[in-house]
A and B are shown apart, each in its own frame.
Chain A
Amino acid sequence: MTSSLTRLLDFDDQFRRDSQQSQAFLHRRDRRFAQQQQEQKRPLTVPAWLAELHALNDQRQSKGPDPRLRRWRQARWIFAVLGAVLGAVFMAGLLVYDGSRQINVTLLLVLMGLQLALALLTSLQAGLGWQPWGGLLGRTGEEGDPLQALRPALSARIAHTGGLMFAISGLLTLLIMVLVQDLAFGWSTTLQASADSYYRLVSLVALPWQALWPDAVPSAELVAASQYYRLNETPVSDPALLGTWWPFVLMAWLTYVLFPRLLLLLLAALQVRGRAGSALRNHPGYQPLFYRFDTPWVETRGEEEVAREPAPAQVNVSPLPASGTLIHWAGAGQTSDELIQRLSHDAAPLQLRAGGNSSLQDDAATLQQAGERRQPVMLVARGWEPPTGELSDFLFDAREQWPAGTLIALVPLADEQGGELADETLLAQWQRFIERQKDANLLLCAATHP
């Protein structure tokens, strides 16, 4: 019984620990466990899962109850001791017999009925989830207390434990009193009841054990003989006869006080177990756990890339050199007359093409023609496209073939119309490209208006 509570608490603890972990980690971990259980043909249960995690994390291995249940256990002990003491006192008080008058069976029956009613009320209250005494157990509704839903059932179990101990110690007291004293029972009531109707009442009460122990059912003679009135000091004809009520009292106590308590205690224990089970199934972590067990772990991410920040670059835009030679890399800005006028010193500059869909032979021819001009060269490129290895090769070949010291102005454009590139990130990218070429005569220039 406590194991179901311990399991619930352990599950809740694990759920709280897991809430700090990523969903991906949890899915992998639990899916691996599910597969392992399947392979080993072992059941996939919460206790097995918890045991595995506890073993991996060197956590509590013993099956002992959770320390958080201590308060409930203590309360149960207190109620049990209290019940035992009160039961003995209660019974002894009822059976005090000084010989002045008989012990009233009617009073005994009424008190037994009251005990039964109390027991039933306790169970009813737990079944309906009432907690009129909730304040005594501290504030209700502590956020996230896994035992919250179990409080009525746990309280009922404690109350029934006390009740049962009460019944047992009452029973023992009764037996001791029967043994050590000569008890004389009788019956008395203010109501106008005939011995005959009282006999019918006690027969009805004794119905459950009538067949089992016929001697414990008072006879009509006994009932008639044991009626007494406090004012009427009629002597008892046969005092020994009055003592024969005790088997009836014993069986009534057993049937209406002890057995119901025992039965209701068992029911309360079952209710605690049932509620613990349902609290576990309703726990926010329960369904996700079984989802992780059942669902294959799908991983698409592959390796994580570490963000590599490009090295910082100090963009250094130089003024356009005076030149009449333009090379359009991959045809950049070739169709913009306005751009050509803006860039060129000559009214009719030499426009060449390289890169893109030009052939390597075309590139070689371009290099040759531009080199022959013996003046700075403007290399116009699309600024929004990253400079490639081909451009780097072209510059390398140019440096090899052209006269030493020829200025090369690399002019990245912002668009096909020849706008000036202003985007800092793109400019930095071109600046870094130029720095990688390690060429002092290669300049980054902007397509500015003169």
Chain B
Amino acid sequence: MDDNGKTQTPDDRHSDSPLPRFAVVGHPNKGKSSVVATLAQNDSIAIAMEPGTTRDSHRYPMKVDDVTLYELIDTPGFQRPRKVLAWLQGHSLSASDRPDTVAAFVNQHSDDPRYHDECELLRPIVEGAGIIYVVDGSVPYNREHEAEMNILRWTGRPSLALINQIGSDDYSADWEAALGQYFQIVRRFDAVRAPFEKHLELLRSFGELEPNWREPLDAALEYLQALKFGRDHQALEYIADALIEMLGHQQTARLGEHESAAPLLPTLRQRWQAWQREREQRLRHSVEDLYQHRRLQRQESDLSLPDGDDLFGERTRQLWGISKGQLAAAGFGAGAVGGAGLDAVTLGHSLGTGALIGGLLGAAGSYYYSDKLTKVKLGPLSGGFREAIYGPLKDPQFGYVVLGRALVHWYQISQRNHAGRDVLVVTDSQDHWLEELSRTDRNGLQKSLQALARRRFEPSKRQRLIEQLELAQQAFAQWQLAKFSSLH
């Protein structure tokens, strides 16, 4: 969009630019598909295909409003490179006719099943695509791929070599030196671990292959960045709506005039918890759909979340709830703590014995996350019946648990690569992610969560909540990054 808020169509920008197309080629099993899956954000590609079974090449266009800005082409691996090179050498008179000779090879062998894979991978290149040659940087360099590299050089097309790190050993430096002789640009790229910014960086380097590819690629990158930003924001809206519904949820049942409410408590609590779990699941599905992790959605969750998968588990509470020590030390308002613990904790801290008192209260922490604070309330009598109402949970921890779990799931999904590797989430730490927020922001968030739990949340405040969650989202990501850096 331009400054006036008008939408420029991709046609306006580059109607006369040629379409940049990139054929991702290489030896079988060197991570070509991972590279394409990552760059095309398509997790259906990263399926280990068995080489030797015939494959066709697949195109993954990057489209903006149905206008293609660039195209990635996933190709089968080389099967008979030495024979192809021998054929080429046997049919070429001089260096100048090499590209034509490659085209002639494809032309002549298009119906030959033995060279099906080579034809599939060379055809897009002959038709003008740039070459992205993928090698595995975790195995030592050897000369056995030289035939492939020579064939690619014969095509005369702009080329970039990508050193993909599949295993743990690193021979990238050797590869870099060797590949430099054959390819214009050599880049290292970890297809399964590289964060989103690295994807963009790599795509930008594709633009260096040919001058008139730069403009459409830069435009594409802008759109991709905006897409990521839009998704992050949309995820916040989903989280906000889930928080509003979950924190204010009430489970009700009808009760006869003289019936006691006490026996209803376990059933109501159970239904209330089931509803909460289902709502959280819905939130997760929405976020996964947003980032287009379709395999994840199809196969149920194969994410390994750090707190197991129970919203009401003790471990969950320990991870995402806030201990009273943290509450007091982090400067929350008095309302946040609830109960009689506050004075003791703040006093303890001021006297320098906070750790001791905090520890003692921490041991009693499960009290705060139990249903002792929620009783079944009774509505007014009407027609011989009254309504028994369970919820919302007044416990301030619950809001932080829901939020913490939502943020960690969002973080994993937004950072998760479409090549399918889980993102490491660090939770084993003493400090709380909330500490990354300023005192004012923490208090603002706290007030909103309290208002939600008291069902006094005005719909007009939703926008404000989303803004607060945005700060929380940033704080969470920052906290993860800091944890991650301290680990490495």
Contact = CB atoms under 8 A, between A and B. Distances in A.
Interface string B235-262: 0010011000100111000000000000
A14 interface: no
Interface in A349-394: 355-357, 359-360, 385-390, 392-393
A302 interface: yes
Contact of B52 (A135, A144, A387): A387
Contact of B79 (A298, A390, A429): A390
A436 interface: yes
Interface in B353-402: 379-380, 387
A297 interface: yes
Interface string B253-285: 000000000000000000000000000000000
Interface in B1-59: 1, 5, 7, 9-10, 27-29, 39-42, 44-45, 47-53, 58-59
B347 interface: no
A147 to B, nearest CB: 11
Contact of A297 (B64, B83, B117, B143): B64
B61 A302 contact: yes
A304 B230 contact: no
B460 A388 contact: no
A241 to B, nearest CB: 56
B459 A148 contact: yes
A9 B423 CA distance: 41
A290 B438 CA distance: 31
Contacts of B47: 305, 307-308
A135 B52 CA distance: 73
B236 to A, nearest CB: 11
A287 interface: yes
B465 to A, nearest CB: 11
B290 interface: yes
Contacts of B49: 308
Interface in A399-450: 425, 429, 432-433, 436
Interface in B205-229: 223-224, 226-227
A360 B82 contact: yes
Given A331-B142, A389-B114, A294 B7 contact: yes
Interface stretch (A90-98, A226-234, A278-286): A278-286
Contact of B83 (A35, A282, A284, A393): A393
B343 interface: no
B92 interface: no
Interface in B445-488: 455, 458-460, 462-463
Interface of B: 1, 5, 7, 9-10, 27-29, 39-42, 44-45, 47-53, 58-66, 72, 77-83, 86, 114, 117, 142-144, 146-147, 223-224, 226-227, 230, 233-234, 237, 240-241, 245, 248-250, 286, 289-290, 292, 379-380, 387, 455, 458-460, 462-463
A279 B459 CA distance: 8
Majority SS at the chain B contact face: mixed
A120 interface: no
Contacts of A360: 82-83, 86
Contacts of B460: 149, 278, 282
A293 to B, nearest CB: 9
Nearest to A388: B79
Contacts of A148: 459
Contact of B143 (A298, A355, A357, A429): A357
A307 B144 CA distance: 31
Contacts of B42: 300-302, 304
Interface in A269-323: 278-279, 282-284, 287-288, 291, 294-308, 310
Contact of B50 (A299, A306, A310): A310
A433 B9 contact: no
B52 A386 contact: yes
A141 B144 CA distance: 71
A28 to B, nearest CB: 9
Majority SS at the chain A contact face: loop
Given A302-B40, A330-B144, A385 B28 contact: yes
Contacts of A357: 142-144, 146-147
Which of the listed residues B9, B117, B380, B459 has the most CB atoms from chain A within 10 Å of its own CB? B459
A144 to B, nearest CB: 8
A119 to B, nearest CB: 26
Contacts of B39: 300
Given A23-B289, A283-B459, 4 more contacts: A298-B223, A303-B60, A386-B50, A433-B52
Contacts of B41: 300-301
Nearest to A38: B7
23 contacts: A31-B65, A135-B380, A143-B245, A279-B459, A287-B237, A288-B237, A295-B230, A299-B66, A300-B39, A300-B62, A302-B40, A308-B47, A310-B53, A330-B144, A357-B143, A360-B83, A385-B27, A385-B28, A385-B29, A388-B51, A389-B79, A425-B48, A432-B52
The 8 nearest A-B residue pairs measured at CB = A389-B79, A302-B60, A386-B51, A356-B144, A301-B42, A357-B143, A299-B63, A357-B144
B77 to A, nearest CB: 8
A339 to B, nearest CB: 18
A61 interface: no
Which of the listed residues A24, A34, A287, A298 has the most CB atoms from chain B within 10 Å of its own CB? A298
Interface string A125-163: 000000000010001010110001100000000000000
Contacts of A40: none
B52 A436 contact: yes
B234 A23 contact: yes
A144 B244 CA distance: 10
